[in-house]
Structure 1
């Protein structure tokens, strides 16, 4: 899958209380958001995803572009249902948020969930679609709940924003099915190549034997552990073969170092270009409408940062920037943060023992499990004292 920066726009209007999707529209939507985030970051580890709402007082950016699933899950947990959804403003603010992406090589994409009536007329939607197409922004729409009323308008929007089949409309009527399950085989998740690895509908052909749709944090922890084990084995093999290979190994080592330096240099070059590109955009002429949207985006980010203790939106914490211990701790803690931590520990041990290349005695995993259990014991003791 291509390198992308994606903004997911969710519907948190009053219509999302309806229970025609299991268990209700809002919860079904949240599960689908988790699926989309996992599919994009697993397909390309340099892809980033942001999250925003389009109802309430006004559309609001909850999470700027990130590869940290913890931020997305935390934001989803705090979403409140309120008022009507503003499809037009939500799309435009999402497009402005994409301009803040640090990696200019990322393609821009907006994934919007529409679970309430779209009030804008078709002519206005077409005008917005053409603007998105001109700015090279692809748009995917998940049309559910009010799909009968919205389909004609949204089809007109997609037809005008579509560029070489890069935008899609998926309409999912109510039923006994799960919304996220219905998305797996659609172009929004599968793309043109079909369902990505780990997201097939076979029920058992998942990476590490764990369904990332149900437990993306555990899947991430297992993937990290397996990669570390592979690196360790490769290092041992290289060390053992050092004496016999002689100058050949030295040459290979020098080649690897040269390649690493080249990759590092390219990364620095990309980073150095980003600010310059940002400065260029600052000097672009903006219409009065764009200026208002820019102010709305800034207010949205500012309100969200204050709620999160003043975090700087452009300085997202990337999982790759954390230590390996912190990555495992973060992933496992979110995956197992419930009242059955001990049972989950046993389950995890059973899963680890069945996986090739994963050391179930990995100190980081064991330490993470122990810390979680200690935390649960302390919380339980506090509850008993009360």
Structure 2
């Protein structure tokens, strides 16, 4: 379980268009996706939103499991003023301190899209305080990454404990949400157990294919390498499963041969990654993972299902024929 407060950069600098369509809108899309991922990873996870610019940093949404409140807050957010990072982080820590469920781990995610005014020493001091209070911090640096590089790296080094915090730098000209999709910031957190897996990337391995509560390993594609393909395959798989469930239910109602459609549905579900890939790289990966016997079994199951469906359709078509007028009566 985790309580997260997302710090959003709503300064005037975020009007720049070096991230399509603008820094602010690209950031808003990433925040919306992150909030959705966090709330779906665990039913008791909560997400809050805090603005860093304007007259003073402002908590728009206290940590809540209601994703709708986060989306509404991002839609109504105004662009104004300059970023005040130090004050924003301290307010976020206070919001986490007063979270309702004290069993939740504490996390702050900071989006920085403009130059920060605080010096390195001030940021390190704040980072040490966060570390002392067991607050993990993820930082997304974009737009002004060169100007902020030294200070954010020092901040990250001071707050990081057992690799529970991360610093991600996104270059201009890219899609912010896509670049963050495969990073530890979006991944399902095993951070609490990350200390036990401290040997050479032992922690990232088990969660490398799990994003947004869905295991992409069964699709035969790595979401960190091609997030768009992974999402497309996921949608295809879910649609195929729904179609097969409907077909199985219809066959069961018609009677006779319930087992065969179920077996065919199971086989098609297992073969979905290959069918959904549509001849791309994912198809090759999935086929390589299967031996010849498995492919033959799936082909046999599919052929049996198609044959039974044709027989059922043929029987249904023959039923109304006796209702037609006899030819002898027409002749008389």
Q: TM (normalized to structure 2)?
A: 0.61
Instruction: Give 1:237-276 correspondences, 5 Å limit.
Output: none
* Cα displacement (A) at 1:88: 0.3
In structure 1, how many angstroms separate the alpha carbons of the residues matched to 2:45 and 2:165? 18
In structure 2, how many angstroms separate the alpha carbons of the residues matched to 1:23 and 1:116? 16
Unaligned stretches of 5+ in structure 2?
190-203, 217-222, 246-332
Stretches of 4+ aligned residues off by more than 6 angstroms: none
In structure 2, how many angstroms separate the alpha carbons of the residues matched to 1:209 and 1:70? 26
Q: State the partner residue of 1:183.
A: 180
Question: Could you say which structure has the larger radius of gyration?
Answer: 2
SS of the residue corresponding to residue 162 of structure 2 reads: coil
Q: State the partner residue of 1:166.
A: 164
Q: State the partner residue of 1:85.
A: 83
In structure 2, how many angstroms separate the alpha carbons of the residues matched to 1:14 and 1:29? 13
Instruction: Give 1:1-386 correspondences, 5 Å limit.
Output: 3-175=1-173, 177-190=174-187, 191=189, 192=204, 193-194=207-208, 195-196=210-211, 197-198=213-214, 200=223, 201=227, 202-206=230-234
8 Å CA contact retained: 2:10, 2:51: yes
Q: TM (normalized to structure 1)?
A: 0.52
* Cα displacement (A) at 1:70: 1.1
* Cα displacement (A) at 1:178: 1.3
Going from structure 1 to structure 2, the CA distance change for 1:208 and 1:131 (only over 3 Å counts) comes to farther
Going from structure 1 to structure 2, the CA distance change for 1:134 and 1:7 (only over 3 Å counts) comes to same
In structure 2, how many angstroms separate the alpha carbons of the residues matched to 1:35 and 1:207? 16
* Cα displacement (A) at 1:35: 1.0
Q: Which has the higher contact order (CA 8 A, sep 6+)?
A: 1
How many residue pairs get matched? 210
8 Å CA contact retained: 2:39, 2:67: no
Q: State the partner residue of 1:345.
A: none
In structure 1, how many angstroms separate the alpha carbons of the residues matched to 2:160 and 2:238? 35
RMSD (CA atoms): 2.0
Going from structure 1 to structure 2, the CA distance change for 1:155 and 1:204 (only over 3 Å counts) comes to same
* Cα displacement (A) at 1:19: 0.3
Task: List per-residue Cα deviations over 1:123-169 (Å, max 9, x = no partner).
Answer: 11111100000011000000000001111110100000001000000
Unaligned stretches of 5+ in structure 1?
212-221, 227-386
In structure 2, how many angstroms separate the alpha carbons of the residues matched to 1:105 and 1:206? 32
